[in-house]
Structure 1
Amino acid sequence: MIKMIAIDIDGTVLDHKTGIHQITKDAILKAKALNIPVIIATGRNLSSIHHIAKELKIENSSYPFVSQNGGQSFSFNHKDKGELKIYYTVSFDTKLTNELFDCANENKIRIFAYSENEKYAYCNKKISAFRTFMKFKSKRQKLISYNKKTDFSKLKVSKFICFGKAKHMDKFRKLAEKNNVSIFAFSYVSDAHANIELNPIGVDKAYGLKYVTEQLNIDAKDVIYFGDGENDIAAIKWAGKGIAMKNAKDIVKEAADDVTDLTAGEGGVGDYLFKNIFK
């Protein structure tokens, strides 16, 4: 029996060209009517999630959501008081943070790193299209330029987004792998470039959703999870029913229990819920 629905955003409920399909919105409303918690689990930071939650009409939910690939859990309407509540944030060791920034500079990798404070982010290049794009996308108000004297102990990094040419990314990725951090592929790149997201050791969406189910006293076997990207695989494998989108990559579909008949833009999540869950 499904007691919780967990959804990724980009490429799952949201198509960047067509938006959120009405059938998916209708399915989320149906879940609310049946008192089934609908939980967002995304790589986004919380500032860029609110308008999606509002469009799905779950922004007033007191349930914990998962952001930053599991690195943070929060609710917009904590205990019906209408206040933002952050339950936890997992951050990087400061020594490793410095090593990653130095390695990025040596290999011409551009970094946009979320800090624990929702207003701030770190960058290692003062002017770049990537920096401008990420500031807009993440809605971070203030950017701190990294230098050798930057003290990360005062404001720790919770997530890295790293961009550069594929040939330069190799050495940087090896440093991350050596330190056992969580590595996920990121999008919005050309074939000549590569980029990755880094989270602290052991952090992924399954990590975040385990916290949510513990708070709600729900077993993983009673959770259905929808996702389309590499950062969804852990949650797809963890959930009792892990569903890959029709538009997902093969590696994601191979990890899933089932695949939607329709893409995100066609309302794949809503269509699947109505056909298979809301009987």
Structure 2
Amino acid sequence: MTLKKLIAIDLDGTTLNAQSLISGTTEKTLKKAIKNGHYVSIVTGRPYRMSGQFYRQLGLATPMVNFNGALVHMPEKQWADEKETGIQRDLVFDILAQKKALNLDFVAAENKETFFIDSLEYFDSTFFASEATPSNLLTAKNLIADPTSMMVRTSQNQAKQVSDSLMKQYGDYVDVRTWGGPTPILEIVSKGIQKAKGVEQVANYLNVKRSDIIAFGDEHNDEEMLDYVGWGVAMKNATEQIKSVANDITEKTNDEDGLADYLERYLDLNEQ
């Protein structure tokens, strides 16, 4: 009998390759794991709009974690345990006022259903997985409720500086996380929100013990998750910090199907 594992997978820099896609090899391996009785759950900094396609590609039926843990939900279904944690609306406009001083390309605020961006100049329909209209502009008139998350983009070499500045000013109310992967996106969520808490909620719902959770990640926002689970795996392309908290490291990068390669051996999927 196979002991059921919960496989918690980060997307950018982990499950996704350099083209931000799940390769055929990785898809096949994850589906094989599900067929063998294991659970797969996506745990990402991305909003659902920009990650739902991967949920559908893998044919998942498990809860999903978005916004680094600020939203735990069952896609396309009503779920009594759904949890969404917001940040104060005023804080959004406070940060927007510093856009120039912080060297931000754009400031976006979002919730489960929609998003608001301060300028359509940086709007990219592929990136945002949506079309934008004037109602998506980040204005006091359009943003009437507390958003689940904020997203700001800066340059790769200024990301740490921006993150430090935001934490210095608003660290009592929010946490600032990086998306990972090639995009210098910073995600701003309510204080104390982290992927580990989302994974814990998913595991409790699926009745999987903490010791039976395996998680894969590559970036700062995966640290608590890899530390929390029974077996935390850092990608070969992960940051040194993430490698230092992981139980193991994949032999291959995200662009070489490192996650699939590791799972095949870890779960003896080749034997099936």
Please report the TM-score for the alignment, with normalisation by the length of structure 2: 0.83
Structure 1 unaligned regions, length at least 5: none
What corresponds to 2:13 in structure 1? 11
- Name which of structure 1's ranges 98-107 and 170-179 shifts more when overlaid on structure 2: 170-179
Once the two structures are overlaid, the 10-residue window that deviates more, 230-239 or 24-33, is 24-33
* Structure 2 spans left out of the alignment, 5+ residues: none
State the distance in 2 between where 1:29 and 1:173 align. Answer: 40
Equivalence for 2:47 = 45
**Matched-pair contact (CA < 8 Å) for 2:96–2:107:** no
Instruction: Give the aligned partner of residue 38 of structure 2.
Output: 36
The residue number in structure 1 matching 2:72 is 73
Task: Tell me the distance in 1 between the aligned counterparts of 2:265 and 2:16.
Answer: 20
Instruction: Please state how far the C-alpha of 1:259 moved relative to its aligned partner.
Output: 0.3
Instruction: Provide the C-alpha distance between the structure 1 equivalents of 2:26 and 2:13, rounded to a whole number of angstroms.
Output: 13
Q: Secondary structure at the match of 1:161?
A: strand
Cα separation, partners in 2 of 1:118 and 1:141, compared to 1, 3 Å: farther
Give the letter for the 1:39 counterpart: S
Q: CA deviation at 1:106?
A: 4.5
Cα 1:112–1:175 shift into 2, 3 Å:
closer
1:84-135 C-alpha deviation (Å, 9 max, x unpaired)? 999122111123223222222554423332322523x2222x343xx223x4
Cα deviations across residues 210-262 of structure 1 (Å, max 9, x unaligned)?
22122222222210001112211121111110001112122221121100111
- The structure 1 residue matched to 2:22, chosen from 20, 27, 30, is 20
Structure 1 segment 125-144 matched on structure 2, within 5 A? 126-128=119-121, 131-133=122-124, 135-142=125-132, 144=136
Tell me the secondary structure at the aligned position of residue 255 of structure 2: coil
2:272 corresponds to 1:266: no
Per mean C-alpha deviation after superposition, the further-off stretch among 212-221 and 65-74 is: 212-221
Contact 1:116 / 1:155 at 8 angstroms: preserved in 2?
A: no
Residue in 2 that maps onto 1:99: 94
Q: What is the one-letter code of the residue matched to 2:74?
A: S
Q: 1:94 to 1:236 in 2, by over 3 A?
A: same
Equivalences, count? 261
User: In 1, are the aligned partners of 2:67 and 2:187 still within 8 Å (CA)?
Assistant: no
Change in Cα spacing, 1:107 to 1:27, as seen in structure 2 (3 Å) is closer
Sequence identity (%)? 23
User: In 1, distance between residues paired with 2:223 and 2:20?
Assistant: 25
CA distance in 1, matches of 2:150, 2:97: 13
The equivalent of 2:109 in structure 1 is 114
Match of 1:176 in 2: 167
Alignment of 1:210-249 (within 5 A): 210-249=200-239
1:5 CA drift (Å): 0.7
RMSD in angstroms over aligned alpha carbons? 2.8
Deviates more, 1:136-145 or 1:165-174: 165-174
CA distance in 1, matches of 2:126, 2:20: 20
2:108–2:138 contact (8 Å) kept in structure 1: no
Decide which structure has greater strand share. Answer: 1
Distance 1:164 1:188, change over 3 A: same
Q: Give me the TM-score of the superposition, normalised by structure 1.
A: 0.81
What SS does structure 1 have at the residue aligned with 2:13? coil
> Per-residue CA shift, 1:174-216, capped at 9, x if unaligned?
2434422211234545xxxx65221111112112112212222
Structure 1 pair 267–117 and aligned structure 2 pair: CA distance change class (3 A): closer
Separation in structure 2 between the aligned mates of residue 19 and residue 107 of structure 1, nearest angstrom: 31
Partner SS, residue 155 of structure 1: coil
